[in-house]
Amino acid sequence: MTKFKAIISTLVLICATSVSAQTLDTKALAEFSPATMRQTFDVCKYVKLTPEQQVKLAKAIEKENAFFIKAINDNEGVLTTKGNNQLGKMRDNTLKSILDDEQIQQYWRGVYNAEAMAEGAAIANTLQKKYGLTDQNWKFINVAFYKIALDTRMLKKVMADQPKKAAKMIAELRDEQLKSIEEKGGIRVNPDKMTVKVVREFDPNALIKE
């Protein structure tokens, strides 16, 4: 990876982590065990919650932990697939009942951020190597496919009960990001065939400040 790419990747990571990180309201959660507080933080590190939301989340986590203990006690210390699925469903229902839509989306973006960054960079690296693209176009591809990967995962999760609507939104997101690559870099990317076609000469003066 070139120095240019390393800088871009670092900036994306810093932005993703610094904007979403927060500390717990230790006074509001003083009555809870360290284990419950730690699991509450595992959610709060991705999304900002009010003290009231944090308390509700901690209480729900206590119920999840009680279910977990019973589940492994009933199966000689083993967590079955059924039990694990039930725990996952409990957490999903907890988030839906406590967080608003924007908070839920932010939370899952935080969860999937590292995977999306890796996917965006992998596609950009592959296409650059195959077509000898400039680092500038590497950046455009990396950012676009990072956004596609991130929100595709998020939408599939939060709209699991509306797969057709989610698929439509994902298709629109993908079209929008592919168009952005072409508008900024003058290249047309086909992610299905992993091909790149130059449609116009790159004009740095045509870039829109973001």
pLDDT, tens digit, 9 for 90 and up, residues 141-197 = 999 999 999 999 999 999 999 999 999 999 999 999 999 999 999 999 999 999 999
pLDDT value at 12 more than 90: no
Residue 147's nearest CA partner among 168, 124, 177, 121 is 177
At 3, is the pLDDT very low, low, confident or very high (cuts 50, 70, 90)? very low
pLDDT, tens digit, 9 for 90 and up, residues 76-103 = 999 999 999 999 999 999 999 999 999 9
Question: Quick one: pLDDT at residue 121?
Answer: 97
Question: Quick one: pLDDT at residue 201?
Answer: 78
Helices 51-73, 81-98: axis angle to 10 degrees equals: 170
Q: In whole angstroms, what separates CA 81 from the centre of its chain?
A: 25
142 and 116 in contact (C-beta within 8 Å)?
no
Which helix (H) or strand (E) covers residue 56, if one does? helix 51-73
pLDDT value at 34 more than 70: yes
> Locate tokens 């992998």: which residue?
122
Structure tokens at 178: 């592919």
Q: What percent of the chain has pLDDT over 90?
A: 83
pLDDT, tens digit, 9 for 90 and up, residues 127-136 = 999 999 999 9
Question: Quick one: pLDDT at residue 10?
Answer: 40
Q: Residue 75 — φ and ψ, nearest 5°?
A: -130, 35
Q: What is the mean pLDDT of residues 39-49?
A: 94
